[in-house]
Every structure is written in C-alpha cells, then in structure tokens.
A and B are shown apart, each in its own frame.
Chain A
Amino acid sequence: MSCHETRAPDVDAEETVALVGCPNVGKSVVFGALADRYVDVSNYPGTTVDTTEAAFDGRRLTDTPGVHGISSFDEEERVTRDIVLDADAVVNVVDATQIERDLFVTLQLLDMGVPTVVALNMMDEAEAEGVAVDAEALEDRLGVPVVPTVAVDGTGIDTLRERVDEACAPDSTPVSRWFDEIPDDVEATRAEKTLLVEGDEPTAERVPTGDIVADGGAPPLADVGRREDVYAHRRRRVEGIADDVSAREDRESSRAEWLSDLLLNPLTGTPLALAMLGGIYYVIGDLVAQRLVDFLEVVVFGEYYNPAVESAVGGLFPDAGWAEPLEFLLLNDSLGLLTVTVQYMLGVLLPLVVAFYFVISLLEDSGVLPRLAVLTDRGLERVGLNGRAIVPMIVGVGCVTMAVITTRMVGSRRERLISTALLGLAIPCSAQLGVIMGLLAGLGIVWWFGYLGVLLVVLGVAGLLLDRTLPGESTPLVTELPRMRLPRAGNLLRKTHSRTKMFLREAIPLFGATAVVVSGLQYVGGLAAIQRALSPVTGLLGLPQEFGRVLILGLIRRDFAAAGMTDVALGPAEVFVGLVVITLFVPCILSMTVILKERDARSALAMWLGSWTVAFGVGGLLAVIL
C-alpha cells in the first residue's frame, strides 16, 4: 500500500486524533473503546456543541459531532471541520450497512489529505441485513487502512488501535483538478484548497489571499466554489467504490423497519407518540420532579441538611453587627448560599438534569427523536418552528429549565429564540402544574378547560407574532432518520454522566451568583420595595395587594407562586386570573439562569420583559371579561 504522510507531526504539541463519521455510526462507542482514560467533555469554544476528549496511546483523542460531510451547514459541521483541520490524524468510523452514504465523508477526508484510518463498524448488523462488504478490497480502493469492527463488543478495536499509526492519505486525488482555479498567491493547505473549491465560506474568509483583496472589492475566493461539481464527482467515485466492494441482498423488512413504519404513520404513530410522551411526563414530571425532589427537599434537606448547616455555620458567627449580613447571605430561608441554594442545585436541579439527559439519550440512541419530529412538523411549522422543536415542548411540561437546554437541537438561532420564548411564556412546568391542577380542581372542570384554552391561544398567538416579526425565515425540516435500534445501557450512562457533569459545571457558578444578588436585594429591602411597586399591577388584575408576594415568590420558583396562591383568600374568577398570570409570568430563577447561559443577555431580558407584559396584559383582559 503506498501512502504519503501529508502532515509532519509537530514535535512540541501533543498529537491529536479525531474520530469523524456520520451520526449514529457508533463513534462514541469506538471512542469509549479506544480511550485509555476518560478526560473531559466541554463546549467547543464559542459554540453550544459539546465535544469529548480522552487520552489515547500518549495522544489526544477527540470525538466530533456526527456529520454527513466536512462543511459549514450547521454549528456541528463547523465544529467538526475545525477539529479535522487541526487534527494530526483521523479515525473515520463508517457504518458498514450504509457505505454508500458514509464513504462521502471518507473520500472528502482523503481529498483534503487528512491522514485517515477507516473503522468499518457494525459488521454484525451488515451481515444480519444481508449487506456484504469486502474490507480488503475497500482498503485497496481507498489506499488507507480499513479495519472491520463491531465496536459494541470490542471486535477489531485492538487492530484499529495498532493501525492508527498507519493513518495516511493518497498523494493526490481527483479533487486536485479544481485546484487550478484558486489564484496562485493564495496560501492554503491541501485541506483548505479542497474546502475552497467546495465553496466553504468560513475557509474562504480565513485563508490569506495575498494582495488580491486590495485589487478587488468582493470576497476574492467566493467565486472559486464549485461545490456541486465537486460533490457530484465525489458521489460518482463513492458509487463506483461501493458497487465494487459491497453487495446488498434483498431481505424482508426487519422488525426495526416495521416499528419505524408504525411511528411514521399518523394513525398508529400518534397514539404511540402520546404514550411515549405520557411515559416521559411520568418519569420526569412525576417520579423525579415531584416524588424524588419532594423527598430530597422535605426530608433530606428540610430535616437534615439545612438544620445541620444552620446550626454548624450559624454557631461560627460572632454576635457582632458586621457578621449579620454575611450570615444572612449564607443562611437565609429564601436563597441562602449554603442552604437553599445547595438544596436547589442538588435536591432539585441534579435529579432533574440526570433524569432528563437519560431520557433524551434514550430517545436519541433509539432513533425515536427524528420520527417524532416528522409527526409534529406540520403543527410546529405554523408557529415558525419545525418538527425538531417538539423535544423542548415535551420536556418543558416536565421542567422548563431542562427544556431550554434542548432548544440547542432545534436548528437556527431564530428557532431557538422562538422556542425558548414560548417555553418561558406559556409552558407550565410540572412542579407548578401539580399545584395549579389542585386549585383548578376545586373550581370545576370548566375552569380547567378555560385555563388550557387561554394557554394554547397565548402560545399560538405569541408563536405567530414571533414568526412574523423576527428577521429571517424558519428553516424547513431536513432530517435523516437513522435505523431504530435498542439503545446500549453503557452508552446511555456515559452520555448522561458526561452531559450532566458539563451542565452542572457551567450552571452552578451562575446560579450561585444569582443567589448572592437576590439575597443581597432582600437584605437591603429591595424585594419589599418591588412588592410595593407591584401594587398598581395587582390592582389592574383586580387582585389584592398580597398577590404581589405571590409574584415575587414566582420569581424564585414557579411552584412557590402556585403554592402561595393557596394562602390568599380569592373568589373563583380571581383564582383563575391569578393562575393564568403566574403561568405566563416570568420563568423561575433556574430557568432564567439557563436562558441567560444558552442565549445572550439581550434576548433573555427581552423574554423576561415580554413575559411580564403578556402575563399582565392577558390577566388584565381576563379580569375585565370575567
């Protein structure tokens, strides 16, 4: 096999190996099998995309988001492209059952001159499906090592580990025929040249262009792009290779396909989806958000942790006046840094985050998620979203805080804004919903439907308005449907663990800072002043001034507001108006903290003020009507 190392390893820097491949090809399983020890999950700088790194034979191994090509169609692709451009070698994981799809990435990597080893994964599934792939023939055709693997049971992993050293790329590939179109004075590597002739804009902006910029006005490299020619040519090469090295037998459709068909047919898929939503609601909204959290808050923190900390830490402070504010900051009952703040983080947020990431990983790994998106696409399109926004909406009924994180998967910035705003505005979380249902049950079923109706109208109108007013257009649903399969427990746990860890690492400092600010405000009397300032608003709603206290409680925790309502003597119409207001009213502090972390400060503030306006507007209107 003739091979040419295109990049001399940098002596000083640690050598990096990137794992690259399409989504759902088993990259993370290969990663887990290759890694010597687990190192770190982190956001790729400047993005919301998380990448995992580990040590591997003295090198650094990086897992990349699954992509169908090295390009810039979305944030994941940009992250993968940047990691590939920096990597010394790539392990390209290919799904043996789908080599017609996956070899596009492989050939693109080789065109770029990236030293590559191919892990031909899922050989067992290929055999079961009647797909025969000749790994040796593929190695001959590609000119780089090809190692057949079944990553889930470790088959081929040792060979793969040994052959990473042989990673290479052919000296020249057919893509070079387009390199002539790049002006001579452009300094670009072979990888960059490949991306340039594919019209990759970020590369065109980054590559030094000599003095061409001075001559022309328009971006000099924008015209070089021959994306469709290059892609079409590469597709023909893929088809040629796939025809030569693989054969596909016609088999009867498998059980996975049967299940997929059931899910995609609205007649059977809708009840199945509703049953799944019910299951998710039961796990996140009831088992975890209610029972487990209740137990942790009432028993673990209420009876043991908080009293213990209060007596232990409280005893340390002298009776002097200077110590009082500090003691208040650390131990106060609303948001003390060592008591209630810790209770929220460990007793409320941690169990929710774990449960939530587990359920999401389950939906992801089983292939259910994109099928739910297909089922709900039409409805969500009407409010400027596409089917992928179904996940935040489902999770939101369990816990809005968690749902805000899932808005990462809904596509463009515009769609993330719309879904976050709708979540913050009109989706009641399960903690609050329990108390609200209790209060409404006392009023009668008509009020319950009235409550749901008002929320749906607000959701629809707000979605339509945001869709009309925000710049840009909603992106259409374009989503691959991976094969449905039974998720692996190990993989689910690893995903849940790493995502939880990363989330908490970012959220804890932010929440701590929020707690300090709120406690400070309370100490200097700021909260009481806010309550007084709210009296015109409560008047507008036709509610007594005590309702101001309910609103302030709602700032801290939505269910506190709902619970606070039970203390205020109100008539049925007043209860109804009050409940609508506290539902539409600002999301709780945890949600706000996450919104602030996931979006920018300006959007968060706009959502905050928007929620106030809508809540009091709709509440005032209802007060007049009723």
Chain B
Amino acid sequence: MTGVLGDVDPGASVSIERVPDDDVRARLLRLGLLDGPVECRHRLRKGPVVLRRNGTELALGADLADAIEVTPAEER
C-alpha cells in the first residue's frame, strides 16, 4: 500500500519509493535515506517532515513530503 510521506505518522517506519524531483532524489540517495526503511521522527501540522536513518536526520518541506511516495516498512 503506497501513500505519501506527508501523511506518515511520527514514529512509523517507511520505505521511500518515488521522489519526483531528480535533484532531491539524488540528495536523499547520497545521504543513504533510500537505502532502506526510514523513521518518521516528526511531522508538523501543515509543515515539514523530519526523517531519520542511522542517526542522520533530514527535514523536508510539506509540499515536497506530499509529493514523495512511501510504503510502510516492517517494524524493526
């Protein structure tokens, strides 16, 4: 079941499946956020989403988060 990153609840783990913007995708790839499941640490109401993987935290603006497709990952 795919959804968008903007709808993921804090605490949930997801795999990022599709990032429409080439540059943003390359930047996420470089940081290792496309390697496997990422944890959604925070989601501000109508605001950015904060992701974490292996101690690296990244904030993404709301519009961007709404354009990124994700699937739920197995809880570790």
A residues near B (Cβ < 8 Å) are 68-69, 71, 73, 97-98, 100-101, 104, 129, 131, 227-228, 231-232, 235, 238-239, 248, 260-261, 264-266, 370, 373-375, 377-378, 381, 386-387, 476-481, 483
30 A–B contacts, CB within 8 A, in A order: A68-B30, A100-B53, A101-B54, A227-B26, A235-B32, A235-B34, A239-B32, A264-B44, A266-B45, A266-B47, A374-B44, A374-B47, A374-B48, A375-B44, A377-B59, A377-B61, A378-B44, A378-B48, A378-B62, A476-B61, A476-B63, A476-B64, A477-B60, A477-B64, A478-B27, A478-B59, A478-B61, A479-B59, A481-B59, A483-B55
Q: Is the CB of A264 within 8 A of B42?
A: yes
Cα–Cα, bound, A231→B45 (Å): 33
CB A472 to nearest CB in B, in angstroms, measures 14
Q: Is the CB of A265 within 8 A of B42?
A: yes
Given A231-B26, A265-B42, A374-B48, A481–B61 Cβ distance below 8 Å?
Answer: no
Q: Is the CB of A264 within 8 A of B50?
A: yes
Cα–Cα, bound, A97→B54 (Å): 9
Given A97-B55, A227-B26, A228-B26, A381–B31 Cβ distance below 8 Å?
Answer: no
Q: Is the CB of A377 within 8 A of B27?
A: no
CB A250 to nearest CB in B, in angstroms, measures 10
Could you say which residues of chain A place their CB within 8 Å of the CB of B73? none
Could you say which residues of chain B place their CB within 8 Å of the CB of A387? 48, 59, 61
Q: Is the CB of B32 within 8 A of A481?
A: no
What are the 6 tightest A-B residue pairs by CB atom distance, in nearest-first order? A477-B61, A476-B61, A476-B64, A481-B57, A378-B47, A100-B54
B74 contacts the other chain (CB 8 A): no
Q: Is the CB of A100 within 8 A of B62?
A: no
CB A606 to nearest CB in B, in angstroms, measures 28
Cα–Cα, bound, A477→B60 (Å): 5
Cα–Cα, bound, A619→B42 (Å): 44
Residue of A at shortest CB range from B76?
A250
Cα–Cα, bound, A477→B61 (Å): 5
CB A341 to nearest CB in B, in angstroms, measures 43
CB B51 to nearest CB in A, in angstroms, measures 10
Other A-B pairs, 9, CB within 8 Å; known A374-B59, A387-B48: A100-B53, A239-B32, A266-B45, A374-B47, A378-B47, A378-B48, A381-B62, A381-B63, A477-B64
Cα–Cα, bound, A235→B23 (Å): 16
Cα–Cα, bound, A74→B14 (Å): 28
Tell me how many residues of B have a C-beta within 8 Å of chain A.
31
B4 contacts the other chain (CB 8 A): no
B58 contacts the other chain (CB 8 A): yes
Could you say which residues of chain A place their CB within 8 Å of the CB of B63? 381, 476
Q: Is the CB of A476 within 8 A of B24?
A: yes
Cα–Cα, bound, A377→B42 (Å): 14
Could you say which residues of chain B place their CB within 8 Å of the CB of A101? 31-32, 54-56
Q: Is the CB of B48 within 8 A of A377?
A: yes
B residues near A (Cβ < 8 Å) are 23-27, 29-32, 34-35, 41-42, 44-48, 50, 53-64
Q: Is the CB of A235 within 8 A of B35?
A: yes
Given A374-B47, A374-B50, A478–B32 Cβ distance below 8 Å?
Answer: no
Cα–Cα, bound, A140→B59 (Å): 35
Cα–Cα, bound, A295→B32 (Å): 53
Could you say which residues of chain A place their CB within 8 Å of the CB of B26? 71, 73, 227-228, 231
Q: Is the CB of B27 within 8 A of A481?
A: no
Cα–Cα, bound, A377→B45 (Å): 11
Residue of B at shortest CB range from A378?
B47
CB B23 to nearest CB in A, in angstroms, measures 6
Could you say which residues of chain A place their CB within 8 Å of the CB of B45? 266
Cα–Cα, bound, A477→B54 (Å): 21
CB A104 to nearest CB in B, in angstroms, measures 5
Could you say which residues of chain A place their CB within 8 Å of the CB of B57? 260, 480-481
Cα–Cα, bound, A370→B56 (Å): 14
Q: Is the CB of B59 within 8 A of A370?
A: yes
Q: Is the CB of B23 within 8 A of A377?
A: no
Residue of A at shortest CB range from B43?
A264
Cα–Cα, bound, A231→B24 (Å): 13
Q: Is the CB of B58 within 8 A of A239?
A: no
Residue of B at shortest CB range from A236?
B35
- Which among B25, B47, B54, B55 is the interface contact of A377 at CB below 8 angstroms? B47
Q: Is the CB of B27 within 8 A of A477?
A: no
Could you say which residues of chain A place their CB within 8 Å of the CB of B32? 100-101, 104, 235, 238-239
Cα–Cα, bound, A169→B74 (Å): 39
- Which among A131, A228, A265, A480 is the interface contact of B31 at CB below 8 angstroms? A480
CB A410 to nearest CB in B, in angstroms, measures 13
**Most chain A CB atoms below 10 A, which of B24, B34, B42, B60:** B42
Q: Is the CB of B61 within 8 A of A381?
A: yes
Residue of A at shortest CB range from B44?
A266
Could you say which residues of chain B place their CB within 8 Å of the CB of A476? 24, 60-61, 63-64
Given A377-B47, A378-B44, A231–B29 Cβ distance below 8 Å?
Answer: yes
Cα–Cα, bound, A71→B50 (Å): 24
Given A101-B32, A239-B35, A387-B48, A478–B60 Cβ distance below 8 Å?
Answer: yes
Could you say which residues of chain A place their CB within 8 Å of the CB of B47? 266, 374-375, 377-378
Could you say which residues of chain B place their CB within 8 Å of the CB of A265? 42
CB B35 to nearest CB in A, in angstroms, measures 6
- Which among B29, B54, B58 is the interface contact of A479 at CB below 8 angstroms? B58
Q: Is the CB of A386 within 8 A of B61?
A: yes
Q: Is the CB of B64 within 8 A of A478?
A: yes
Given A235-B35, A381-B63, A477–B48 Cβ distance below 8 Å?
Answer: yes
CB B42 to nearest CB in A, in angstroms, measures 5
Cα–Cα, bound, A381→B63 (Å): 10
Could you say which residues of chain B place their CB within 8 Å of the CB of A374? 42, 44, 47-48, 50, 59
CB B53 to nearest CB in A, in angstroms, measures 8
**Most chain B CB atoms below 10 A, which of A69, A98, A235, A477:** A477
CB A411 to nearest CB in B, in angstroms, measures 11
CB B61 to nearest CB in A, in angstroms, measures 4
Cα–Cα, bound, A238→B35 (Å): 10
Could you say which residues of chain B place their CB within 8 Å of the CB of A248? 54-55
Q: Is the CB of A98 within 8 A of B54?
A: yes
